[in-house]
Chains A and B, each alone.
Chain A
């Protein structure tokens, strides 16, 4: 089946404006009669729930967290993009659009990306009005910095805590709507099923995580803003509780999953140190503004460092290989993530790794410290500063810019990265794939919308840094509040949804049976141990480098693991109580099914693009080789169960403005 993205007509630049002035509206008195369920309170969910409440809709909002403020968005560090061009460095909506399309390796829908670039400027205004304390210059105006894949400085930030500050802004807006009675908030409620009535999304089944009871909630429309699925790899930079269950349950009710194999491996994370490790910690991409990535030129130096006989500081300048600057002179250390990650991996594979495991490269701040030190000294009017003064002043500038990042690195590794080069290695970070949505952010199930990381819409095969926060807030504040009207305008006569309908009863009893099923297995192995094993399979065969052979093997391995899981997992406790293991088991089961689909998707896409690197498809220099002839489409899958063949639906991608070309950062 070919899917219709419902892209409005008109030139790219005028589509969104035209759409907004012609989209069907819901009159204020009708909004008061309509109910919307929003699942998720991250940037996408909180901003959507608050904005929909402000418009007059009655919103029920859900999170499995103990508070809406805990959503994983809180952990985003580096910044948020916007085409404000406050720096007069040649930025524009068009350039942000183009960078994002190119960064995504021409696998995103042009119209969505252009809209994202257009509303990006409103986001910054909105956040400032809410009191988000962005970094400022001495003149009192907003400061910006650079992120990967761009040659302008369009990234707004609040030290290394941008996500936290943006989320608190959205959380406060949400709190205001809660106090006004427009949003009813359900903390510690986990959505475990979607209820579809007469083909339309009309509610959810959620488990009250404190009492353990299953509860039914009805509404005229359902919005999922439930985040990404990076934790399918077990080890990732995502928060421990991030999971795919809400989206996956929708898939099991007929929603399509688009491009599931498009996952992002972030180049700069703290390397793995031991088997007990529960998660990986990101070192923000913003550090690549000032950090130079290198490995020793000589294999023997690399070996000496691995064995603890030398440190990075002892390698003289001429024996260092700044491989990103060498390979990609135009973008240098600021190449996009997929490119930087693969480069780091290939250096380590060639024996130049600098951690005992062999899996790390250096990121060095000494040059930046010196540059900043000199500049600060001259601002302070210190003539001929000595080396010591320069370094002290320079380190102070680094602290102002990155504050918590260096502290976090030191807490985890016990090393001070201002004195010793930081050790980094790529780790799973973000998922570009997600629920298939059209231009309205509506899935193929009428009335079911998806926003933020849980949809596939804007980042193609690779996301540029600082654009997930932008997308989450664009979807929630400025897109969904309009586009949801296309569906709801036809629902004004629909009375409140009755949760006694048989569809609700059936979904509830299926969910109960599923949970009781897990409890009754009573095997010997913990949920966590299965999750770790799944993660290892996915990382090995569906991670940074994929091959048809490996993927074929991996699919079988996941199927076997799934069978073993269903015969030998042990879940303590019961259903009617606070039971974290029961929460986890259902999530891990969904991750396994998703894992299988990711493998199928990766296997079918016989090309390399963005974060999807198939070793069979590369150029002589080892760069990704795209196949626009055969794969310039969105792969949206219907999934019916482990071991069954998923069905492929295709949405062809047409490029009117950003004509696909080889993606070069050299």
Chain B
């Protein structure tokens, strides 16, 4: 396959970026999208030019590291698929593909397609945990949890922290990410104890990081590679308001 790539190049956070065009002539349809970038980088290195900086690690759709906006869509055209799991068989010979970094005020660009998503870590640090020390646990089967509840918590916990929801949202809101963490922990009996404090603390940190407000566009759900549901956002909103109303412990 012949593929033309228009790729965002930006030297560092301070510099201005621009698109560069590259043509690749020998792309195999069984290659993954990132393997195509490996080929591009190998060609650039052969020409002693700077390869395109992009992030990746597991290449199995689970670590959440890869992050490209492909033809305007975070992680590209396939539903429920990360950039690394996207294969070239979904493109056509002769296609031109535009590749950009995830763009959001709270995700500053480091270089080319690499952005800083540490704001997500700080949201989890604010309250995305259950306060239990090592060694304090009771027997694992002491608290039976209905299968449906465990599975609902699991579905929310499947979030890989990639940030596609933020990149997809016109307001760059992080509500899908935050609501997934709240839904994971707040549904479980172990997590209920701190639910109110957790919700308030994470929302407060989210605002402090400069993420936008949620205006129910639901583009996040459509682009989320783990198909996290916007139902979680509605639940988070309910929990947030009920935690603020009538609470003495607003954090």
Contacts and interface: CB of A to CB of B under 8 A. Distances in A.
Interface of A: 47, 50-51, 54, 65-70, 72, 74-75, 84, 86, 122, 124-131, 133-142, 158-159, 161, 164-165, 168, 171-173, 175-176, 178-179, 185, 187, 210, 239-241, 273-274, 276-279, 281, 404, 407-408, 411-412, 414, 477-478, 481, 524, 526, 528-529, 570, 572-573, 577-578, 580-581
B116 interface: yes
B141 A129 contact: no
A570 B49 CA distance: 10
A124 B140 contact: yes
A274 B28 contact: yes
A404 B154 CA distance: 13
The 10 tightest CB contacts between A and B, nearest first, are A140-B144, A172-B129, A129-B137, A133-B154, A125-B137, A128-B140, A51-B134, A179-B125, A239-B57, A133-B153
B158 A478 contact: no
A572 B111 CA distance: 15
Given A67-B120, A128-B137, A136-B146, 8 more contacts: A66-B55, A67-B161, A75-B62, A131-B185, A133-B157, A179-B125, A411-B85, A578-B53
Interface of B: 12, 28, 30-32, 34-35, 38-39, 41-42, 45-46, 48-51, 53, 55-65, 80-81, 85, 87, 89, 110-111, 114, 116-118, 120-121, 124-126, 128-141, 143-147, 150-151, 153-154, 157-158, 160-161, 184-185, 188, 190-191
Contact of A581 (B51, B61, B125): B51
Nearest to A237: B60
B117 A54 contact: no
B41 to A, nearest CB: 8
A281 B118 contact: no
Contacts of B158: 161, 164
9 contacts: A72-B57, A74-B62, A129-B130, A136-B144, A164-B160, A524-B46, A528-B38, A528-B41, A580-B51
Given A276-B38, A529-B42, A159 B154 contact: yes
B57 A187 contact: no
Nearest to A579: B53
B136 to A, nearest CB: 7
Contacts of A477: 134-135
A58 to B, nearest CB: 17
Contacts of A176: 125, 129, 131
Nearest to B150: A136
A67 B153 CA distance: 23
A172 B124 contact: yes
A573 B50 contact: yes
Nearest to A411: B85
Nearest to A168: B157
B45 A570 contact: yes
A60 to B, nearest CB: 16
Contacts of B45: 526, 570, 572, 581
A172 to B, nearest CB: 4
A433 B245 CA distance: 57
B58 A67 contact: no
B34 to A, nearest CB: 7
A172 B190 CA distance: 14
Contacts of B31: 274, 276
B121 A411 contact: no
Interface core residue of A135, A137, A570, A580 (most chain B CB under 10 Å): A580
B30 A273 contact: yes
A129 B161 contact: no
A68 B58 contact: no
B192 to A, nearest CB: 10
A334 B41 CA distance: 42
B61 A408 contact: yes
Nearest to A281: B60
A11 to B, nearest CB: 24
Given A274-B31, A526-B42, A65 B135 contact: no
Contacts of A86: 141
A414 B150 contact: no
B159 to A, nearest CB: 9
Interface core residue of A72, A126, A187 (most chain B CB under 10 Å): A126
A164 B143 CA distance: 22
A210 B108 CA distance: 12
A278 B120 CA distance: 29
A570 B48 contact: yes
A158 B154 contact: yes
Contacts of B153: 131, 133
A69 B185 CA distance: 17
Contact of B56 (A54, A67, A171, A240): A240
B101 to A, nearest CB: 13
B82 to A, nearest CB: 10
B18 to A, nearest CB: 18
A127 B136 CA distance: 11
B126 A179 contact: yes
A578 B13 CA distance: 11
Contacts of A281: 59-60
Contacts of A168: 157
B59 A240 contact: yes
A578 B12 contact: yes
A129 B188 CA distance: 10
B85 A72 contact: no
A286 B64 CA distance: 23
A185 B236 CA distance: 28
Contact of A412 (B49, B62, B87, B160): B87
Nearest to B132: A129
Contacts of A69: 64, 121, 161
Contacts of A414: 87, 89
B127 to A, nearest CB: 8
Contacts of A133: 150-151, 153-154, 157, 184, 188
A131 B130 contact: yes
A129 B57 CA distance: 29
B10 to A, nearest CB: 11
Contacts of A274: 28, 30-31
Contact of A165 (B46, B49, B134, B154): B154
Given A173-B129, A478-B134, A70 B63 contact: yes
B215 to A, nearest CB: 27
A478 B116 CA distance: 33
A578 B111 contact: yes
A528 B51 CA distance: 12
A598 B136 CA distance: 42
B60 A408 contact: yes
A65 B57 contact: yes
A27 to B, nearest CB: 18
A131 B85 contact: no
Contacts of A404: 61
Given A136-B145, A239-B58, A572-B45, A172 B130 contact: yes
Contacts of A65: 57, 65
A408 B85 contact: yes
Contacts of B130: 129-131, 172
A154 B145 CA distance: 19
B153 to A, nearest CB: 4
B60 A75 contact: yes
A524 B133 CA distance: 53
Contacts of B87: 411-412, 414
B58 to A, nearest CB: 4
A178 B125 contact: yes
Nearest to B157: A133
Contact of B124 (A128, A175, A570): A175
A578 B63 contact: no
Contacts of A139: 144
Contacts of B124: 171-172, 175
Contacts of A54: 133-134
B142 to A, nearest CB: 8
Contacts of B145: 136, 140
B144 A141 contact: yes
Contacts of B61: 404, 408, 411
